[in-house]
């Protein structure tokens, strides 16, 4: 039965309430998909919900701005929050349940456990955000286990995160199928991101150069051009377009994320760079 | 239906085979208890199986000598292994399934995930075995998630381990009930342990002094005696009985394991000391 996309979205805030809903679905022999978010939802998140509806009988979304994946100087406090707006969007997309736990449900007093993932978390975003993937792995493991979801959809926009989450779930034997969804983009190619809100109109107009430069470099590398020169061209082009600090522009193995120089296996071109107050990331496939 | 305790015990070695068995039990609405072991089974383990049978419809045991909880200089290689003997004992005790995974089932190539538990893992055995509880938390999380067991029984003999496992499962929201079972002892009070096999006859005769000294100190502290002097008396008595290096003799909060000086809340007296080639540990409740 198709969910009623006009009714207000039920919200649960505790693990007990959450599991009661999921248990009822499972008891009826129905499957459940999780779309885990930090809120500030945009069309990219809606695409995750749409895909999740294809993969399972029911879709639930979590909205939780997870403090363990922000460093003290990062934008945890000012990260955009709008639960009512998020709930309306989720309901319209066919999500049936919103799980919005409080901080003390997720990290109660005495909480003492950490998860570390090596392998795909090495380098790239870890260089400037060393605590990020540990925080992500922890909260995602908790969300998987709290929800007992059968399937989950993560965006390829956060490609390193997707590979870290896959590694963590496989290594810990969490019984969930993880699907990656290609990045949803604005018409001019800019990857959708909650952090695009931080861009001024002028910065927003220049930001798509990141994707354009990466796409052309990926095609060149796939066709056999030396990768070092192509990566350098991306850096030069985005610097010329007004990007400030460039955290990285790198070619990596598409699954393990070990650095590679040629696309003789499926590879991924990944970049992170600052435009004004926004740290933008993007990635594109490189198939030689 | 009572299990047939004379038939040979079925053995599964992969997660897929394991889950197929457990899924059939769950599909029939029946519960499953896990008794996780390193093998080298003795009467203490059988008591865990007996208690597990009271708590669930089916009992499965895992036997896996987990390398991540041994340091390079420790006894991983010579840890006693006897799968056929273990299987016969488990079957006789009413266990219905043995899960004996290979190393590459547990830690396949590319494995990159670690779990750290602060809080109860601090101090005590962590001082001399700094990697131990991380290794335990990791393998136990995997076993909980591989088996999808509803309940598990751990011996209070490894009391710090029990509290670390409880903390980890609570923090990661693993839906399993964890029960602690009081330490099973030889007639003279020595806690049963696979490592008692390392004792010579003479050492074996002197080893029970650890438990005797701890029991008397616990009673004195419970009655109001200053704990520092009582802990010192335990050290002196076991040194006189032939124990060599004393790793620790400490009084801790019974749940959080933070150091305490009085038993004004439930506390625990814990000790670890070497007798010959065997590092023996023990603990007793202190209820003021």
pLDDT at B206 (0 to 100): 98
Residues near B152 by beta carbon (within 8 Å), at least 6 away in sequence: B33, B34, B35, B36, B52, B144, B176, B177, B178, B179
pLDDT at B162 (0 to 100): 98
Q: Does B168 touch chain A (CB under 8 A)?
A: yes
Query: Are the Cβ atoms of B114 and A116 closer than 8 angstroms?
Result: yes
Q: Cα–Cα distance between A122 and B283 in angstroms, integer? A: 41
| A145: chain B residues, CB-CB within 8 Å | 172-175
Rounded-to-10 torsion of CA A145, A147, A151, A154: -90
Q: Which amino acids of A are annotated catalytic?
A: 45
Does position B256 have pLDDT exceeding 60, yes or no?
A: yes
Q: Quick one: pLDDT band at residue B5, thresholds 50, 70, 90?
A: confident
Q: Quick one: pLDDT band at residue B16, thresholds 50, 70, 90?
A: very high
pLDDT at B72 (0 to 100): 86
Q: Quick one: pLDDT band at residue A1, thresholds 50, 70, 90?
A: low
Does position B138 have pLDDT exceeding 80, yes or no?
A: yes
Q: Cα–Cα distance between A180 and A159 in angstroms, integer? A: 9
Separation in Å, CA A140 to CA A143, A166, B4, B276: 5, 10, 42, 46
The lowest-confidence range among A49-58, A68-77, B44-53, B183-192 is A68-77
For chain B, the farthest-separated pair of C-alpha atoms sits apart, in whole angstroms, at 58
Percent helix, strand and coil across chain A, each to the nearest 5: 40, 20, 35
pLDDT at A234 (0 to 100): 98
Cβ pair A52, A128 in contact under 8 A: no
Average pLDDT over chain B reads: 96
Residue with tokens 């124990």: B243
Q: Binding site membership of A for (R)-pantoate: which residues?
A: 69, 161
From A35, A283, A32, A288, select the one nearest A163 (Cα to Cα): A283
| A258: chain B residues, CB-CB within 8 Å | none
Check if the interface score ipTM surpasses 0.90: yes
Percent of chain A with pLDDT over 90: 91
Does position A36 have pLDDT exceeding 60, yes or no?
A: yes
Residue A37 pairs in a beta bridge with A63
From A184, A200, A180, select the one nearest A192 (Cα to Cα): A184
Fold of A194-286: 3.30.1300
Predicted confidence (pLDDT) per residue in A172-220, tens digit: 999 999 999 999 999 999 999 989 999 999 999 999 999 999 999 999 9
- Which of A64, A172, A258 best probes binding to B when mutated, by most B CB atoms within 10 angstroms? A172
- Decide which of 2.30.30.100, 3.40.30.10, 3.40.50.620, 3.40.50.720 is the CATH code for B11-181: 3.40.50.620
- Joined tokens for residue B217: 């100190």
What is the pLDDT averaged over residues B25-34? 97
Residue with tokens 């590694």: A167
Produce one character per residue of B15-34: b if its CB has 16 or more CB atoms within 10 Å, e if not.
Answer: beebbebbeebbeeeeebbb
Does position B237 have pLDDT exceeding 90, yes or no?
A: yes
Cβ pair A22, A148 in contact under 8 A: yes
Percent of chain B with pLDDT over 70: 99
Provide the residue ranges of all domains of chain A, joining segments of one domain with +: 11-181, 194-286
Name the residue among A112, A120, A173 with its Cβ closest to that of B145.
Answer: A173
Q: Does A8 touch chain B (CB under 8 A)?
A: no
Cβ pair B257, B283 in contact under 8 A: no
Q: How distant is the Cα of A64 from the closest Cα of chain B, in angstroms? A: 16
pLDDT at A208 (0 to 100): 98
Residue of B26, B42, B45, B177 marked active site: B45
Does position A140 have pLDDT exceeding 90, yes or no?
A: yes
Q: Cα–Cα distance between A66 and A68 in angstroms, integer? A: 6
Q: Cα–Cα distance between B285 and B263 in angstroms, integer? A: 10
Q: Quick one: pLDDT band at residue B2, thresholds 50, 70, 90?
A: low
pLDDT at A113 (0 to 100): 98
Residue A59 pairs in a beta bridge with A33
């Amino acid at each position: 039965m198709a969910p009623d996309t006009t009714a207000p979205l039920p919200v649960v805030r505790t693990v007990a309430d959450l599991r009661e809903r999921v248990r009822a679905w499972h008891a009826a022999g129905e499957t459940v998909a999780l779309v885990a978010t930090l809120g500030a939802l945009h069309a990219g998140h809606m695409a995750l919900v749409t895909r999740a509806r294809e993969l399972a009988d029911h879709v639930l979304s979590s909205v939780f701005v997870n403090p363990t994946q922000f460093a003290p100087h990062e934008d945890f406090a000012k990260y955009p929050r709008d639960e009512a707006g998020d709930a309306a969007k989720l309901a319209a997309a066919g999500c049936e349940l919103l799980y919005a736990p409080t901080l003390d449900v997720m990290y109660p007093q005495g909480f003492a456990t950490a998860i570390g993932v090596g392998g795909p978390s090495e380098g790239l975003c870890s260089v400037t955000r060393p605590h990020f993937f540990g925080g992500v792995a922890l909260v995602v493991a908790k969300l998987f286990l709290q929800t007992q979801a059968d399937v989950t959809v993560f965006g390829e926009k956060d490609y390193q995160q997707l590979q870290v989450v896959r590694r963590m779930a496989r290594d810990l034997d969490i019984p969930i199928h993880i699907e990656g969804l290609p990045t949803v983009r604005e018409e001019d190619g800019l990857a959708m991101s909650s952090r695009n809100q931080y861009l001024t109109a002028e910065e927003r107009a220049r930001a798509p150069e990141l994707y354009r430069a990466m796409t052309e470099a990926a095609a060149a590398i796939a066709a056999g051009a030396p990768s070092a020169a192509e990566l350098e061209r991306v850096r030069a082009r985005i610097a010329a377009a007004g990007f400030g600090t460039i955290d990285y522009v790198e070619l990596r193995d598409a699954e393990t994320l070990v650095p590679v120089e040629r696309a003789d296996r499926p590879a991924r071109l990944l970049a992170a760079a600052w435009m004004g107050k926004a740290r933008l990331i993007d990635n594109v496939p490189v198939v030689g």
